[in-house]
């Protein structure tokens, strides 16, 4: 595992953006991140455009609906499922229109099976995570839906090389037994690491010819589990990578896994100087003892997380700073 579909000194975004105009969001992404653009997600449009609803709409033969408490499995497809599918279709239409001739890497994002299982409710109001049978059905359904989604993106952008990002912000809580029950007075039992790994492996394995990565913007990222599941890249918030994770991070790097490091503030804030943005990335690499020249090829710089809560002005600044920092880190090591 030595090659990556992007060039050295590359940056990208995590996923979500402010606003409701898919074409405009894509124009910004393609302009600011030409080396590794991605398909933006626009949750401000409402239910079905949010991370959970957007991905739940991809489930095969598992319709969903919106309840006051969140997303819940339904008996039959209804307005909410159709709305999620419609938002995705509009996004893909905009992608084809704006980037139909793109012949480089392109990243798409889908919520992973464990975050979906921790978020979607069964008809009785409990989270799907509580029922192992429901989790198995959800995982198989998601794997099939993601495979279809990947095939559709490839049909529209046949020259692009796809990166598939599974968003798993809830995975550490799932493993730790920290996901609350419907009542909120208790916690669901933890999922064993081999079972969690197998669920991710099933979705990744079904996706076809993609470069798979997992994004987890929480603490206690399970690096070894993600690597075992087949992730070739791991995306994290750099500020949440403690020194105690050094061994696990180093083992991932040594195995050729790419790191997507969130080094730029994702919400409105004055950006630090360029050198200060790049310094934590360089310090992590130095601390782990890997050759400086390797950093620019194996590390992709990103904002710390999605940008849905940022202003349009900050979005442009954050993406531009990510790209500048990635280039600086690569050129300084050459």
Please state, for a pLDDT cut of 70, what percent of the chain lies above it.
99
Tokens 């997600």, located at residue = 41
How far CA 3 is from CA of 120, 233, 234, in Å, comes to 37, 12, 15
Structure tokens at 49: 């455009």
pLDDT tens for 135-144 read: 999 999 999 9
How far CA 251 is from CA of 255, 279, 328, in Å, comes to 6, 22, 25
Q: How confident is residue 2, by pLDDT bands cut at 50, 70 and 90?
A: low
pLDDT tens for 127-182 read: 999 999 999 999 999 999 999 999 999 999 999 999 999 999 999 999 999 999 98
Q: How confident is residue 1, by pLDDT bands cut at 50, 70 and 90?
A: very low
Are residues 292 and 326 in contact, defined by beta-carbon separation less than 8 angstroms? no
**Cβ density class 87-108: b for 16+ within 10 Å, e for less:** bbeebbebbbebbeebeebbbb
What integer best gives the mean pLDDT of the chain?
96
**Can you list the alpha helix ranges (DSSP code H) found in the chain?**
22-32, 51-56, 79-99, 113-117, 132-156, 171-176, 193-206, 223-228, 246-254, 274-288, 292-298, 312-333
Q: Exposed (0-12), middle (13-18) or buried (19+): which is 136, by Cβ within 10 Å? A: middle
**Cβ density class 163-195: b for 16+ within 10 Å, e for less:** bbbbbbbbbbbbbeeebeeeeeeeebeebeeee
Q: Exposed (0-12), middle (13-18) or buried (19+): which is 277, by Cβ within 10 Å? A: buried
Query: pTM of the full predicted structure?
Result: 0.97
pLDDT tens for 193-236 read: 999 999 999 999 999 999 999 999 999 999 999 999 999 999 99
Q: How confident is residue 269, by pLDDT bands cut at 50, 70 and 90?
A: confident
Hey, is 171 helix, strand or coil? helix
Half-sphere exposure of 103 (CA within 13 A, CB side): 1
Are residues 238 and 17 in contact, defined by beta-carbon separation less than 8 angstroms? no
Are residues 116 and 138 in contact, defined by beta-carbon separation less than 8 angstroms? yes
Nearest to 138, CA basis, from 162, 163, 111: 111
Q: What is the mean pLDDT of residues 265-277?
A: 94
pLDDT tens for 79-100 read: 999 999 999 999 999 999 999 9
């Amino acid at each position: 595992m030595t090659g990556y579909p992007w060039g050295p000194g590359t940056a990208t975004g995590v996923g979500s953006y402010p606003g409701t105009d898919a074409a405009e969001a894509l124009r910004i992404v393609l302009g600011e991140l030409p080396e590794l653009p991605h398909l933006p997600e626009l949750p401000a449009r409402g239910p079905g455009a949010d991370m959970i609803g957007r991905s739940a709409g991809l489930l095969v033969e598992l319709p969903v609906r919106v309840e006051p408490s969140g997303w819940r499995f339904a008996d039959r497809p209804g307005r909410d499922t159709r709305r999620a599918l419609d938002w995705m279709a509009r996004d893909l239409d905009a992608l084809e229109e704006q980037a139909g001739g793109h012949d480089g890497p392109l990243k798409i994002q889908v919520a992973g099976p464990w975050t979906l299982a921790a978020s979607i409710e069964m008809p009785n109001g409990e989270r799907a995570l509580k029922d192992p049978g429901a989790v198995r059905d959800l995982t198989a359904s998601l794997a099939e839906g993601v495979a279809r989604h990947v095939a559709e993106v490839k049909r529209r952008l046949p020259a692009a090389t796809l990166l598939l990002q599974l968003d798993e912000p809830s995975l550490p809580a799932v493993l730790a037994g920290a996901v609350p029950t419907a009542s909120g007075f208790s916690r669901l039992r933890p999922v064993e690491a081999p079972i969690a790994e197998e669920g991710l492996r099933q979705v990744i394995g079904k996706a076809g010819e993609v470069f798979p990565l997992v994004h987890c913007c929480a603490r206690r990222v399970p690096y070894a589990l993600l690597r075992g599941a087949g992730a070739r890249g791991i995306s994290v918030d750099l500020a949440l990578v403690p020194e105690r994770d050094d061994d696990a991070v180093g083992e991932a790097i040594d195995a050729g896994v790419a790191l997507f490091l969130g080094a730029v503030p994702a919400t409105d804030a004055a950006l630090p100087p360029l050198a200060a943005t790049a310094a934590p990335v360089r310090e992590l690499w130095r601390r782990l003892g890997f050759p400086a020249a390797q950093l620019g090829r194996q590390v992709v710089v990103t904002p710390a997380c999605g940008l849905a809560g940022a202003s349009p002005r900050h979005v442009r600044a954050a993406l531009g700073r990510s790209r500048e920092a990635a280039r600086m880190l690569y050129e300084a090591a050459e």
